[in-house]
Amino acid sequence: MVEGKVCMSREVKLEFLKRKRLQRMKSESMNDFACSGNMMSRSGGDALRGHATCGVRIPGSLDTYPQSAAMLNGKDAFSKHKVSKFETSNLDWIDKIPECPIYYPKKEEFEDPLVYLQKIAPEASKYGICKIVSPITASVPAGVVLMKEKSGFKFTTRVQPLRLAEWDMEDKVTFFMSGRNYSFRDFEKMANKIYARKYCSAGCLPPSYLEKEFWHEIACGNTESVEYACDVDGSAFSSSPNDQLGKSRWNLKRVSWLPKSILRLLGRTIPGVTEPMLYIGMLFSMFAWHVEDHFLYSINYHHCGATKTWYGIPGQAALDFEMVVQKHVYTNDILAVNGEDGAFDVLLGKTTLFPPNILLEHDVPVYKAVQNPGEFVVTFPRAYHAGFSHGFNCGEAVNFAIGDWFPVGSIACHRYALLNRIPLLPYEELLCKEAMLLSRSLELEDHEYVMEDVKSHLNTKASFVNLIRFHHFARWCLMKVKACTEICLVSHGTILCSICKRDCYLAYINCTCTSHAVCLRHDPWSLELPCGSNRTLCLREDILDMEDAAKKFEHEEVVLYEVQKLHKKSEDFYLLSNLFPKVEDKDYVPYCDLNLELPGEIESELERTVCKTLLSMESGTSVSETVPNSSDHFLSAHKKVQSSETRHIVDQDDDDESDTEIFRVKRRPRLLHRSPHDTVSFSNEHQGFKRLKKHLSDGRSGKSNTTQCSLADSRSYTSSAIPNHSKEDPHSALRDRPHKGSVIPISMKCKKLANEEPMVKHREHKKDDSMQHGSGRTVREPFPIETGPKRLKVRGPSILGRMG
């Protein structure tokens, strides 16, 4: 009986609010009609002020807007009109959207967010979105953190038109920057005042009621615009040692640096990705349909204030979502690319909002989350999501990735390249570093590290093997057509392809001036290099170790099965077949030796030069006295600020010791800071010369005159990617080390070594060093690489395959 009275009082309250709202609308109808005739001729600021009686008054001056800011092609960006493609008269579909899974972890399960998410991911990822209710709460409120702990905290909002659009060349939605900065308290006062004026109440109304109000308002309501403070730098987690949530691993400032986080390998902070951002909203502030950058995970914590409603699409339905948007939301004239890729391109603008019933009508699954203070919402890789606020609130979000992200991260890189968009993360570099750490843990027989998250490691291994196989096959194709004239071994971090902006870490083709790097997914013969036709193949100096690690991973049948699945989905191998139609791929054997063939005269001359160089090194003579040093030009060329068409992303720190290049900040340019988790890179440049001398001593026993493939399993290589610390006398090490970046022209044949016993001993010694070095490292430290490029030039139409 008591329950019935409560329900009845709620219904009566809602009915009262509806009637009062209708009365207010009638009393304002004459004012609406009077001001609508002058709307088209006014500027954005005047239009907003003149129409304040029937909408939200934007506080402060908007004179900072340009005259066209609120006008699109002569149309007012805030005025509403009926959009026939969106049916909003019947909102019964709202009750048909099922809720996403909700999890209530115990305190003992709440130790590490990434461990817990790996546990629930098999079920929760099917929905694209889930909610986690925290068992611990913050003892220091977000308002106290932002007003007291962060003195002087202010932010600028965006003005969001609250309307639907036709999404053609004449009618699109844009979010504008307002001209006013707010303190946290000032924005809260403004938002609460608007809420109370609209609903004559300071309390929260039921979420289902406000959900229908939102879609009614956006379709035909009187509110023209709202303000939303999105992507605000900062965090509302307290730094107080007494705050249980703030000092836990669920503090979003710590998520990116947890041991299982892939982004820990960046070694640098990227605002909005590795560093959390704040999202401060008001009634009907919205976040449009979007997917996270690089299809990453996201985790959002609701600090305080009114509820948020989320809509989520499972990652496996992302293509279906884009297809529906392309066919039923956008018109073809606004799509730069045909098909779902064109829709993906426009959706990246994060201003597209439409009711989810369109998706339901076309069998795209949609799930809902109603987020309250103290709750986390997690979105899974490639899961589109959107939502809105029920009043003033403050949330915080950050991206993260674990091993199972790598397969979808590869798809994101491919799509960015198709659209010529600069990537945010060095995907290849992250994958290679994580895979080599995993390989090292296998060498050390660290079974605890391997067994705790088998699925995550399986995805890492399969993605890594697929990448290594592609690069080996690409080098084999280049060898067959003799497309490159030089070889260059490099140890620097990621750079970008000057054509498609794809990140290049393992290999790329470069020109004579080293300013036009091109990834291996382009036709080498069609490259129009301004500095000539010479093409240099640049390879990572530890690429052989990576191939050995990939072969070890392939010993697991389950890994091979996953690799075959990725191979069928990948377009890279199909692309190579089209680029090199004359190459018979049936002759290709994975991981085969790629031997070199050079003209005899050039080979003899280069070999004499190398021998002279090595002798001078052993006698203590400076390498620069024997071999001209041209790497200074190589380094300076990569440190230039490139244009948007040929920009290379290379670290420009003065110490030149960073192993990771910074791409760009998430949504606005700002200085990137060095993370306290950065490590100092180590240098073992003399190691390449030791391997070089081994080749020369063995290579004099005979020469091969034909380019051939042989199974690489017959050879033994070291598989450790961790640089060794030499225990030799430091002066001796300096004598062995060449002048930094020196260019050494060499000639060599990559063939099976005649005597493998010394190599076996060297490998065992290197493995022992690696184990000793690894015992003092933790998994969360960024993976070190060497600094400074070492160029080993091979002149002649040949391609380096495996170098011992």
What pLDDT, in 10s, does the model give residues 9-31? 565 556 656 555 555 544 444 34
CA atoms within 13 A on the CB side of 288: 19
- DSSP three-state, residue 434: helix
Task: Give the angle 276-277-281 at the CA atoms, nearest 5°.
Answer: 140
Q: Strands 129-133, 75-76: parallel, antiparallel or unpaired by DSSP?
A: unpaired
pLDDT at 452: 60
Higher pLDDT, 726 or 418: 418
Give CA–CA dist 337/341, Å, rounded. Answer: 6
In Å, the largest CA–CA distance within the chain is 102
Give CA–CA dist 377/302, Å, rounded. Answer: 8
pLDDT at 386: 98
Of 209-218, 332-341, 772-781, which gets the smallest average pLDDT? 772-781
Percent of the chain with pLDDT over 90: 48
End-to-end CA distance of the chain: 84
Assigned token pair, 300: 């959002």
Q: Strands 286-290, 385-389: parallel, antiparallel or unpaired by DSSP?
A: antiparallel
Of 91-95, 293-297, 476-480, 632-636, which gets the smallest average pLDDT? 632-636
Q: Do 790 and 541 form a contact (C-beta atoms < 8 A)?
A: yes
Give CA–CA dist 293/475, Å, rounded. Answer: 30
Q: Do 710 and 752 form a contact (C-beta atoms < 8 A)?
A: yes
Q: CB neighbours of 73 closer than 8 A, spacing ≥ 6?
A: 169, 170, 171
Query: Average pLDDT, whole number, for the chain?
Result: 74
pLDDT at 763: 43
Assigned token pair, 32: 């609406």
List the one residue out of 335, 379, 384 whose CA is nearest residue 358: 384
* pLDDT tens-place string over residues 405-438: 999 999 999 999 999 999 999 999 999 999 999 9
- DSSP three-state, residue 648: coil
Percent of the chain with pLDDT over 70: 63
Residue ranges in 75-206 assigned as alpha helix (H): 113-124, 142-144, 184-199
Q: Strands 486-490, 536-540: parallel, antiparallel or unpaired by DSSP?
A: parallel
Label residue 616 by pLDDT band (50, 70, 90). Answer: low
Give CA–CA dist 658/661, Å, rounded. Answer: 8
pTM (global) more than 0.75: no
Q: Is residue 50's pLDDT more than 60?
A: no
Give CA–CA dist 798/697, Å, rounded. Answer: 21
Give CA–CA dist 277/271, Å, rounded. Answer: 7
